[in-house]
Amino acid sequence: MTVTVQAVPCLSDNYAWLMRDMATGTIAICDPGEAAPVIAALEAAGGRCDLILLTHHHGDHVNGVEEIRAKYGAKVIGAQADAHRLPPLDQAVLPGDTVRIGETEGRVIDSPGHTLGHVAFYFPDGDVLLCGDTLFSLGCGRLLEGTPADMFRALSLLKPLPTQTLVCAGHEYTESNARFALTVEPGNAALRAKADAVFAARAAGRRTLPVTLGEEMRTNPFLLAGSVERLAEIRAGKDNFRG
């Protein structure tokens, strides 16, 4: 493995993700929605931050950027399409571009739906997928700007990644997602088992992320949806779900 990844809880249910390139010690943080817990994690990791990766422009993903940039001189990377509403970017990227954390290379993946300029970052060597508010464990992001077709396409770009890929999502929404997923897939035994594990983990105060893509492919109703129409139906159901 050339890179490690670690969750940094922020705000009430966000995760920033701290990555470290083993060869060079280069440190990157994805989606720092709050400065204090991220700075504490960066100090524990050696007191350096080289890069800040941003999946999208929402405050709960970017509000820690300026304090971290000022303290460590970190370079900020985000989507060129959203440069006008992201913090000032040092590297504005397009889908398909390469980003580099030390010697570890990642690929920018177009990921619209939750917002139109949303991107994901995939690092094959560490099996790390930083997917922001596109893919959650047992769920997907709300369609605040994009259409069901946008989200279907975004998820279809993530599905072919290796099953051992670590889904590093922006929120700990898994428990509520599990309750809803059980109503969509009542006969799915893998989901039932996973939901029980999720309820136990949350009751014990443990994180449910990261999770492997292979596990999500068997249990996440939004990845199991075979058509845009089906995804639209499930997304609408979740939007109205109180559970």
Is 118 labeled as catalytic in the residue annotation?
A: no
Is 127 labeled as catalytic in the residue annotation?
A: no
Binding site for Zn ion (CB under 5 A): 58, 133
User: Of the listed 114, 118, 127, 150, which one is catalytic?
Assistant: 114
Is 61 labeled as catalytic in the residue annotation?
A: yes
Q: In angstroms, what is the minimal distance from the CB of 103 to Fe ion?
A: 30
Q: Where are the alpha helices (DSSP H) in the chain?
A: 35-44, 59-62, 65-72, 148-158, 174-184, 189-203, 213-219, 221-224, 228-239
**Of the candidates 33, 55, 80, the residue with the CA atom closest to the CA atom of residue 158:** 55
Residue 127 binding partner per list Fe ion, Zn ion, none, with a CB distance cut-off of 5 to 8 Å that depends on partner kind: none
- Residue showing tokens 């999502």: 169
Amino acid letter, residue 7: A
Q: In angstroms, what is the minimal distance from the CB of 140 to Zn ion?
A: 12
b/e code 74-100 from CB counts within 10 Å (16+ = b): bebbbbbbbeeebbebeebbebebebe
User: Of the listed 21, 31, 50, 61, which one is catalytic?
Assistant: 61
b/e code 6-17 from CB counts within 10 Å (16+ = b): bbbebbeebbbb
**Of the candidates 118, 110, 113, 105, the residue with the CA atom closest to the CA atom of residue 51:** 105
Residue 169 or 191 having the CB closest to Fe ion: 169
Is 84 labeled as catalytic in the residue annotation?
A: no
Residue 76 is classified by DSSP as: E
User: Of the listed 21, 31, 50, 60, which one is catalytic?
Assistant: 60
Residue 152 or 173 having the CB closest to Zn ion: 173
Binding site for Fe ion (CB under 5 A): 60, 133, 170
Is 58 labeled as catalytic in the residue annotation?
A: yes
Is 57 labeled as catalytic in the residue annotation?
A: no
Residue 175 binding partner per list Fe ion, Zn ion, none, with a CB distance cut-off of 5 to 8 Å that depends on partner kind: none
User: Of the listed 58, 82, 110, 150, which one is catalytic?
Assistant: 58
Is 60 labeled as catalytic in the residue annotation?
A: yes
Residue 126 or 170 having the CB closest to Fe ion: 170
